[in-house]
Amino acid sequence: MTEKKRPTLVHAFIPIAFLVAFLAINVIIFGSGATDGPNQMALIFAAGVAGIVSWRLGYSWEEIEVSIVKSISSAMGAMLILLVIGSLSGAWLLSGIVPAMIYYGLKILNPTIFLFAACIVCCVVSLATGSSWSTIATVGIALLGIGKTLGIHDGVVAGAIISGAYFGDKMSPLSDTTNLAPAMAGTDLFTHVKYMIYTTVPTLVITLLIFLVWGFQLDTTGTTDTATVVTAIDNAFNLNPLLFIVPALVLLMIVRKVPAIPALLVGAVLGGIFAIIFQPQIVQQVSGINNDPVKSAFIAVMKSFSMDVSIVTENQMINGLLTSGGMAGMLNTIWLILGAMIFGGVMESCGLLKRIVEEIIKWAHSTGSLVASTAVTSIFFNLTAGDQYMAIAVPGRMFAETYRKRGYKPELLSRTLEDAGTVTSVLVPWNTCGATQSKVLGISTWAYAPYCFFCIISPMMTVLQAYLNFKIRRLDDKDPIQ
């Protein structure tokens, strides 16, 4: 049996350097098309480099393969949700649900308060459901359509939507990451949630102020004629308040802790049924069949679930909003996620990621530097392992003993994991979160990332408070709730 060697820092950084260089070349050469295949191949080739390093350290292919399969398995739920979201978005387009949301939203909101209101709406929905993905895939898509129609930059609108959605994902007791972080750190759920208030509320307030001020600075003189858009939607679809029964039921199921996949699948099926009932003219347009209503309905609904669907109206601009790729439209993103998880699995197989973290811990002497090193490690795992669960679970396991030995309560670690690991995942194009939200919203990660102010400020806030020694809980504190 070959003796296994402990990796050095050089071993650990070789695959990462290769990946970063390859991704940079792809962006330079392919631009926004880098995620259509080149970045996937970069991740796979980087995994090959990591595999060679692992082999040189004495690890067999069988051991590497087990780690890859385990890594992919951890993201399988996310990939299944992504497929269901593809079907749901197509069905909700065909049924008129998303157009109805855009229609009524344009009647209520104006450009000045839109970004502020969009962020608030997503905060409330994600807090109630515990899911940023469900929030963005439902109300987020509708809000993006409204923002486009109001003439606001796509990236800014997406930044407001994602900021609000990830606030709820981070704070809701129903969220999987909100449960994972305290489990990894060794504290309980509600202590964790209460302690996050100190960093999360100031971050949200700053974010909302930015979007509010931004709204007042918008030049609305050249804004799209919303009346024309509203008329085009009204003429193309049979708009009925009963359409909102479907999203209301989906949100209710998620609030009642129905798992995301069956809840979203029910939403997709109901969307198909409502399309047949309320939008027969759209069903006929999509199917291309006039003389057989049963066959027409079957073809249109199946198309909305599985492939590209475009609704044609009298307004050319609104036509660009009324498109969906169904499940097929999500396959490229799933390819990207698979590539990221393969790379993360190989890096994990021989301890290359763990080796880097061990080195980081050596430099953390003060409270501020320990929290900063934890935050940097979580962000590092989002960049290299391609999954927010890895960015929470692995640093959580590695830092737990260090925090305990230095006299800090575990909620300090759990809060830091969320402040850095949960929210920055959506900023990385090849991370499961970044790839998914980019595909769902139809906007490049690079385009919206600069405007996700909540996600950008959050890790800075947790590090700042640590260096200021503000509300830092220690094991010798008598009061558990400071």
pLDDT, tens digit, 9 for 90 and up, residues 273-288 = 999 999 999 999 999 8
Residue 277 lies in a domain: yes
DSSP characters over 201-221: HHHHHHHHHHHHHHHHH---T
Q: How many C-beta neighbours within 10 Å does residue 305 have?
A: 25
Q: 2 Cβ partners below 8 Å, 6+ apart? A: 58, 60
Which two tokens mark 195? 């302690």
pLDDT per residue over 313-340, tens digit each? 877 666 766 777 888 887 877 887 788 7
Look at residue 441 and tell me whether its pLDDT is greater than 70.
Answer: yes
Any domain includes 60: no
Helix axes of 367-384 and 388-405: crossing angle, nearest 10 degrees = 160
Which value, in Å, is the radius of gyration of the alpha carbons in the chain? 23
Q: Is residue 477 domain-resident? A: no
Query: What pLDDT, in 10s, does the model give residues 39-94?
Result: 788 889 989 999 999 999 998 999 999 999 988 887 787 788 778 878 888 898 89
| pTM for this prediction | 0.70
Residue 216 lies in a domain: yes
Q: Is residue 62 part of a domain?
A: no
Q: In DSSP terms, which residues pair with 324 in a beta bridge?
A: 309
Number of domains into which the chain is organized = 1
195-229, pLDDT tens digit by residue? 999 999 999 999 999 999 998 887 655 455 567 77
Give the whole-angstrom CA distance, residue 157 versus residue 461.
Answer: 23
Identify whether the C-beta of residue 45 lies closer than 8 Å to the C-beta of residue 18.
yes
Between CA 147 and CA 140 the distance in angstroms is: 10
**Does residue 120 lie in a domain region?**
yes
Which residue in this structure is represented by tokens 């001020």?
A: 213
Say how far apart CA 107 and CA 115 lie, in whole Å: 15
Range of the domain at 261: 82-187+196-329
Name residue, tokens 């102010």. Answer: 453
**Res 32 pLDDT > 90:** no
- pLDDT, one tens digit per residue, over 95-113 is 988 888 777 776 777 778 8
Residue 128 lies in a domain: yes
Max distance between CA atoms of the chain, in angstroms, equals: 78
8 φψ region: left (φ > 0), alpha (ψ -120 to 50), beta (else) = beta
Residues 6+ apart with CB under 8 A from 177: 169, 170, 388, 389, 392, 418, 421, 422
In a domain, residue 342? The reply is no
